[in-house]
A and B are shown apart, each in its own frame.
Chain A
Amino acid sequence: MTLQLFLLAAAGLFAIGLYGALSQQSIVMLMMGLELMLNGVILAAAALWFFLAPDGTDGPVLIVVVVTAMAIEMAAGFAVATAIYRARQVDMTDAAADLKG
């Protein structure tokens, strides 16, 4: 149980999430990728706090921020998905690429 092992696991989660966020077409699956990336961030924050500076509270506060960010990301993501689906029955990112230059 070392800092490196924890960070490697976190990096693995982050990379898997990145792969999903880039490769998935469905908005819902894309958001799962984002969540998985933030999951890695939580793990890294906890490990860095414990192994480097356990006397402060920066790590736990960062985790609170990330967890809130996850909730906001999901709520906002589903709201946008609902709005766009209501407008034109679209749930794929490729079909919603109007702003592409």
Chain B
Amino acid sequence: MTVLFWILAVVAVVAGFAVFRLNSMAQVTFALLASFLAVAGLVMLLGLGYLGVVIVLMMVIEMVIMAVFMVMYMMNPAGLMPMAMYHNKSGSMAIAVGTFAVLAAGILLTDWPTRRGAPAPDQTFALGEALMGGQMLTMMTLGVTLFATIVGTVVLATARGRYDRFGDDLDRRRADDPAGGGPG
């Protein structure tokens, strides 16, 4: 357990640091993924198997999508021409190190309370029960927020609306899409 913890923790932090050190943006994305996978491993190590696996599932998808956007928007995705794209590097570093120092001081100096109770035998079930019971409001808020995100992001990201697809009077039979095919 302890060995596993050290390996995963070191991988998480080192891969996290590599995100801002590597030149190739593709490698950066997958370094971030490695950091996420290590944290997912740590979460599983703490007995939250379901959440750990869900983090793996979500983060792999998210990072692959991120890689696509990264190739789309970065001027130098493969890092073949090393270039620095920073502003206020030293200030940021100072703030980051300061934050870490304050957090570490708090972590080491706090008199943490003792452990209370024991984990339920089936954490997946306990989580589901909480989300569908006492934490229902959290779940509802998340659902509504996600839905709002879907609508908002599509509105922001697309340049075409239904008038482009179905004509000014919305009377076109088949939608005029740049990519054909599909039922609509």
A25 and B153 in contact, given A17-B16, A57-B127, A86-B159 (Cβ under 8 angstroms): no
Size bin of chain B's contact surface = 35 or more
Q: Which residues of A contact B95 (CB under 8 A)?
A: 18-19, 22
- A6 & B19 in contact (Cβ 8 Å cutoff): no
Min Cβ gap B36→A in Å is: 6
Residues of chain B from 42 to 93 with CB closer than 8 A to chain A in the complex: 42-43, 46-48, 51, 54-55, 58, 62, 65-66, 69-70, 73-75, 85-89, 91-93
**Which residues does chain B contribute within 8 Å of A75, judged by CB atoms?**
149-150, 153
Shortest beta-carbon distance from B118 to chain A in Å: 6
Closest to A70 in B: B62
Instruction: Render A1-31 as a binary contact track against B, CB cut-off 8 A, 1 for contact.
Output: 1011111110111111111101111111101
Min CB distance B18 to A, Å, is 10
The answer, yes or no, to whether A76 is at the interface (CB within 8 Å) is: yes
Cβ–Cβ contact A54 & B35, under 8 A = no
What is the chain B residue whose CB lies nearest that of A50? Answer: B46
Contact status A11-B9, CB under 8 Å: no
Task: Check A15–B96 contact: CB distance below 8 A.
Answer: yes
Give which listed residue, A8, A19, A64, A94, contacts B92 with CB less than 8 A: A19
A42 to B40, CA, bound (A): 9
Kindly list chain A residues whose C-beta atoms are within 8 Å of the C-beta of B97.
15
Q: How far is it, in angstroms, between the C-alpha of A8 and the C-alpha of B142 when the chains are bound?
A: 29
**CB distance B145 to A35 under 8 Å?**
no
Q: Is chain A's binding surface mostly helix, strand, loop or mixed?
A: helix
Contact call A79/B113, Cβ cutoff below 8 A = no
Contact with B along A63-97 (1 / 0, CB 8 A): 11101101110111011111101100001101000
The interface bits of chain B over 120-143 (1 if a CB of A lies within 8 angstroms of the residue's CB, else 0) are 100100110111001100100010
Supplied contacts A27-B73, A28-B73, A86-B159, 4 more A-B pairs, CB within 8 Å: A7-B107, A36-B32, A54-B117, A70-B58
Residues of A participating in the B interface, judged by any CB pair closer than 8 Å: 1, 3-9, 11-20, 22-29, 31-33, 35-36, 39, 42-43, 46-47, 49-57, 59-61, 63-65, 67-68, 70-72, 74-76, 78-83, 85-86, 91-92, 94
Residues of B at the A interface (CB closer than 8 Å) are 1-2, 5, 9, 12-13, 16-17, 19-20, 25, 28-29, 32, 35-36, 39, 42-43, 46-48, 51, 54-55, 58, 62, 65-66, 69-70, 73-75, 85-89, 91-93, 95-97, 99-100, 103-104, 107-108, 112-113, 115-120, 123, 126-127, 129-131, 134-135, 138, 142, 145-146, 149-150, 152-154, 156-157, 159
